[in-house]
C-alpha cells in the first residue's frame, strides 16, 4: 500500500491557473511517453509516487497517450491510481481528445460533440474515475464549428464528468474566438496548453501568452525541456537510451553540433546559478507570468526529482536573462 510522504507540501509552489480558483503545482507530470504498455510498469508506478511525494499534484494525460495502442497510458495510470484512491482529492487529473483515436469518422482527428463526448466516457473508464479535473480539446479543428466544440466541453462539465475545461494547440486568434463562446455559456474555461521552451517561443511571437495573461487564462506548458534537449543528456552527443537515441521524436535532426554547442553554453550559465540545465530551463519558462505550470515528461524517477529541484531558484537577474538571450540568438 502506497503512503505519501508527509512532507510533500513543504516545498512545491502552487500557482493560480489564470484567474480561476484552481492552483497548480509549478511542476506537473505528463504521461505522453513512457507510460504505455511498452514501458515497465514498476518504473511508471515509481515515477507517479515520486512525483506525488515531491508535491506534484497534477497529472496530464490524453486519450491517445501510450504505446503500442492509444489509451494504454490511461489504463496504466488507472491501475496505479487504485492504490492511491485516498489521495484523489489531492490530485488534478487532466485528459484530452482531438487527435486520431479510434477507427472511422468519429474517432478521427476532430472536435465534434460526438467524438469529445464518447472519448471522455472511454477515458473515465480506462482510468477508473468518475470525473476528470480538466478536460481539453487537444488540437484546433478548422472543420468543426467552434461553438460545437465549446458546447461539447461545456456539456462535460454539466454532466459532472469534468470540473474545468481547456484547449491545447490553439493560437491566439482561435483562443479569443472560443473564449467568447465560453463566456456566453459561463463555462469554467481556465487553461490553454501550448508548447513552449527556451528553444520554442512561438507563443511569444503569436502573443498568445500576453493574451492569456490579460484574459485570465492560465498556461500549462508542454515540452518545456524541448523533449529532453534542455537537460544534461545531450551535452556530449546522443546516448542510445534517450528519446532521440531511440528515434522517438521528430525533432532529432535539430540536434546538430551547433545545437549541442548552444546547450553547453546554457549549461555553463545554469552551473553559475547553482542549477542543472533542466532546472534552469524550467525556471526560465516559469519566469513567464502567463505560465501556471510546466508539464514535464520523464523516463525515470530520478529525472522528476532533478527537475522539481528547479523550484530552489526561480529568480533571474536581468544580466542572466540577457546572457541566455544571446546564446539562444547566436
Contact residues for ligand NAP (CB under 6 A)? 30-34, 60, 138, 168-169, 193, 222-228, 231, 233, 242-243, 278, 295-299, 303, 306-307
Q: Considering the complex, state which of residue 98 and residue 107 has its C-beta at the smaller distance from ligand NAP.
A: 98
User: Min. distance of Cβ 257 from ligand NAP in angstroms?
Assistant: 19
User: Min. distance of Cβ 227 from ligand NAP in angstroms?
Assistant: 4
Cβ-count burial 236-275 (b if 16+ within 10 Å, e if not): eeeeeebbbbeeebebbeebeeebeebbeebbebbeebeb
Q: Considering the complex, state which of residue 161 and residue 243 has its C-beta at the smaller distance from ligand NAP.
A: 243
User: Min. distance of Cβ 211 from ligand NAP in angstroms?
Assistant: 18
Q: Considering the complex, state which of residue 215 and residue 232 has its C-beta at the smaller distance from ligand NAP.
A: 232
Neighbours of 103 (CB within 10 A): 8
As a three-state string, the secondary structure of 183-233 is HHHCCCEEEEECECECCECHHHHHCHHHHHHHCCCEEEEECCCHHHCCCHH
Q: Considering the complex, state which of residue 160 and residue 247 has its C-beta at the smaller distance from ligand NAP.
A: 247
User: Min. distance of Cβ 201 from ligand NAP in angstroms?
Assistant: 14
Q: Considering the complex, state which of residue 186 and residue 244 has its C-beta at the smaller distance from ligand NAP.
A: 244
User: Min. distance of Cβ 196 from ligand NAP in angstroms?
Assistant: 10
Q: Considering the complex, state which of residue 141 and residue 306 has its C-beta at the smaller distance from ligand NAP.
A: 306
User: Min. distance of Cβ 28 from ligand NAP in angstroms?
Assistant: 8
User: Min. distance of Cβ 101 from ligand NAP in angstroms?
Assistant: 13
Q: Considering the complex, state which of residue 225 and residue 280 has its C-beta at the smaller distance from ligand NAP.
A: 225
User: Min. distance of Cβ 137 from ligand NAP in angstroms?
Assistant: 10
Q: Considering the complex, state which of residue 49 and residue 137 has its C-beta at the smaller distance from ligand NAP.
A: 137
Amino acid at each position: 500500500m502506497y503512503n505519501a510522504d508527509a512532507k510533500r507540501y513543504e516545498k512545491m509552489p502552487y500557482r493560480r491557473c489564470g484567474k480561476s480558483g484552481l492552483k497548480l503545482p509549478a511542476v506537473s507530470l505528463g504521461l505522453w511517453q513512457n507510460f504505455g504498455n511498452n514501458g515497465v510498469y514498476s518504473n511508471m508506478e515509481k515515477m507517479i509516487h515520486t512525483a506525488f511525494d515531491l508535491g506534484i499534484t497534477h497529472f496530464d494525460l490524453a486519450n491517445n497517450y501510450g504505446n503500442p495502442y492509444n489509451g494504454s497510458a490511461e489504463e496504466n495510470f488507472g491501475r496505479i491510481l487504485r492504490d492511491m484512491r485516498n489521495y484523489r482529492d489531492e490530485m488534478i487529473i487532466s485528459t484530452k481528445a482531438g487527435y486520431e483515436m479510434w477507427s472511422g469518422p468519429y474517432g478521427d482527428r476532430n472536435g465534434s460533440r460526438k467524438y469529445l463526448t464518447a472519448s471522455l466516457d472511454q477515458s473515465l473508464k480506462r482510468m477508473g474515475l468518475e470525473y476528470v479535473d480538466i478536460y481539453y480539446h487537444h488540437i484546433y479543428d478548422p472543420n468543426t464549428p467552434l461553438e460545437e466544440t465549446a458546447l461539447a466541453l461545456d456539456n462535460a462539465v454539466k454532466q459532472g464528468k469534468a470540473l474545468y475545461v481547456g484547449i491545447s494547440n490553439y493560437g491566439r486568434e482561435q483562443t479569443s474566438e472560443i473564449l467568447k463562446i465560453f463566456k456566453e455559456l459561463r463555462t469554467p474555461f481556465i487553461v490553454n496548453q501550448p508548447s513552449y521552451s527556451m528553444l520554442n517561443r512561438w507563443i511569444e511571437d503569436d502573443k498568445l501568452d500576453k493574451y492569456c495573461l490579460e484574459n485570465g487564462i492560465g498556461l500549462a506548458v508542454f515540452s518545456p525541456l524541448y523533449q529532453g534537449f534542455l537537460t544534461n543528456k545531450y551535452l556530449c552527443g546522443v546516448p542510445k537510451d534517450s528519446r532521440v537515441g531511440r528515434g522517438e521524436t521528430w525533432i532529432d535532426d535539430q540536434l546538430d553540433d551547433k545545437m549541442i554547442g548552444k546547450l553547453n553554453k546554457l549549461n555553463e550559465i545554469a552551473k553559475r546559478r547553482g542549477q542543472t540545465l533542466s532546472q534552469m530551463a524550467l525556471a526560465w519558462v516559469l519566469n513567464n507570468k502567463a505560465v501556471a505550470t510546466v508539464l514535464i515528461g520523464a523516463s525515470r524517477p530520478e529525472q522528476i526529482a532533478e527537475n522539481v529541484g528547479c523550484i530552489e531558484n526561480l529568480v533571474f537577474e536581468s544580466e542572466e536573462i540577457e546572457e541566455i538571450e544571446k546564446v539562444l540568438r547566436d
